[in-house]
Amino acid sequence: MKKDFMFTSESVTEGHPDKLCDIISDAVVDHVLQKDPSAKIISECAVSTAIVFIAARFATPARVDFANIARQVISQVGYDERVFNAKTCSVITSLTEVPTDRRTDVDERNLDEEAIERILARNQVTVFGFACNQTAAFMPLPIWLAHRLARKLVSVRLQKTLDYLAPDGKTQVGIEYRDGRPSRVHSITLIASQKRAAVKGGPDAKRLEDDIRETVLNPVFQDEEIKPDARTRIFVNPDGAFIGGGPAIHSGLTGRKNAIDTYGEYSRISGAALSGKDPSRIDRIGAYAARYAAKNVVAAGLATSCEVQLSYSIGFSRPVSIQVETFGTGKVSDQIIADRVEKHFDFRPAGIIRQFNLRHLPAQIKGGFYRKLAAYGHVGRMDIGLPWELTDKASLLKG
């Protein structure tokens, strides 16, 4: 593996059409599980100009108003312009109701080990979890900074510091690595959609760049150890004014931003989407369990970078393969770490649900749980008390 290289990662705001779809899909999951924790639900969404399409397959006696959930999300994200808003967009649904006996009518919290063992994986998937010591969140620096910039871009809009911004935005950060460690900020790109063109009262290019530097860039990097320097290339809307943005400009689809949801392509990820799935789907919760294990490995000081790979096969309760890769940074062999991970972590589907309380968090957390994951990453979050971000098993791994 190269020691000196440059790596870029991007993030997007809640108003990006793909993220809007993820949020709607996870808001549906939250709503269903709040009413019926044993429900099964798969929800996918697509958006385009003035149209929202929701496809869902579910098993629950609870009544679900899919269109109303979508309209609430659209309004909360901030789309209120004539071309796309919660009141006038068309919401089309394709719904498949599965007999309610297909529900998981158990509470994993009350199951003994034998019962946990009998609940099998129903999907074939290989998932990956990653952690490194580049940031306090054990995340790669490029995606960490990209998320921070995207969140700040939304913050200055909601606080009306820059009241001319629209909900759609994107950030990209390039980091130069020397000897395998982040060395300097190579480049930063911010694409901010505006409600108005300069000729209609919006800011010109110079004012937009100055405003973004003052209210977004400078505050985000104020407390960062690695800051932009004189050679850092900074681009704000390099292709010119981006008016409106959102579904009126480009379409969106659930699950199309998997790299943003995880490690910014710094590590391998599964091809399966994370959003829009209930906790019975191992392709979602397995990724959380793998992250949990990888983070604890790094927190234990066993490696400075760790990737945990879990391969599941239909009909088995446990992964058929557990692999660990530390990229030459391990203090002991990867096989020893893998053996310790397998001993101290429960990767069985029902075990993960029980450990993280995944069926009941939507009802316990105000505003829902899964929809909060849909933007700014399902992992590495320090603004939410995610159970898979704990490092409570680090001491067990030290051996």
- Mind listing the pLDDT tens digit of every residue in the chain (399 residues)? 578 999 999 999 999 999 999 999 999 999 999 999 999 999 999 999 999 999 999 999 999 999 999 999 999 999 998 889 999 999 999 999 998 777 777 889 999 999 999 999 999 999 999 999 999 999 999 999 999 999 999 999 999 999 999 999 999 999 999 999 999 999 999 999 999 888 788 899 999 999 999 999 999 999 999 999 999 999 999 999 899 899 989 999 999 999 999 999 999 999 899 999 999 999 999 999 999 999 999 999 999 999 999 999 999 999 999 999 999 999 999 999 999 999 999 999 999 999 999 999 999 999 999 999 999 999 999 999 999 999 999 999 997
Res 232: pLDDT: 97
Question: What does the block give as tokens for 392?
Answer: 């409570």
Quickly tell me which residue has 């606080």 as its tokens.
159
Question: What does the block give as tokens for 12?
Answer: 């997007």
The C-alpha atoms of residue 10 and residue 3 are separated, in whole angstroms, by 22
| CA nearest to 203, candidates 145, 156, 170 | 156
The C-alpha atoms of residue 307 and residue 149 are separated, in whole angstroms, by 26
Q: Which residues contact 171 (CB under 8 A, 6 or more apart)?
A: 10, 11, 12, 146, 149, 150, 153, 188, 189, 190, 191
3-state DSSP assignment of residue 145: helix
Give kind and range of the element (H or E) at residue 97: strand 90-97
Spell out the alpha helix ranges (H) of the chain: 17-35, 66-77, 113-118, 141-158, 205-212, 218-221, 258-261, 282-299, 334-344, 349-356, 361-364, 370-373, 394-397
Q: Please, are residues 78 and 310 in contact by the beta-carbon 8 Å criterion?
A: no
Burial class (CB in 10 A: 0-12, 13-18, 19+), 351: buried
Q: Please, are residues 78 and 155 in contact by the beta-carbon 8 Å criterion?
A: no
Helix axes 17-35, 66-77, angle to 10 degrees: 130
Res 1: pLDDT: 57
Question: What does the block give as tokens for 311?
Answer: 């391969």
DSSP for 216-259, written as a single string: IIHHHHTT-SS---TT-EEEESTTS--BS-GGGTS-EETT--HH
Q: Please, are residues 268 and 128 in contact by the beta-carbon 8 Å criterion?
A: yes
| CA nearest to 321, candidates 337, 297, 342 | 342
Res 174: pLDDT: 98
| CA nearest to 74, candidates 18, 31, 15, 29 | 15
Q: What are phi and psi of 331, to 5 degrees?
A: -80, -25
Report all structural domains of the chain as residue ranges with CATH numbers, in order of start: 5-12+141-243 (3.30.300.10), 17-105 (3.30.300.10), 109-134+256-397 (3.30.300.10)
Res 389: pLDDT: 98
Quickly tell me which residue has 């719904």 as its tokens.
95
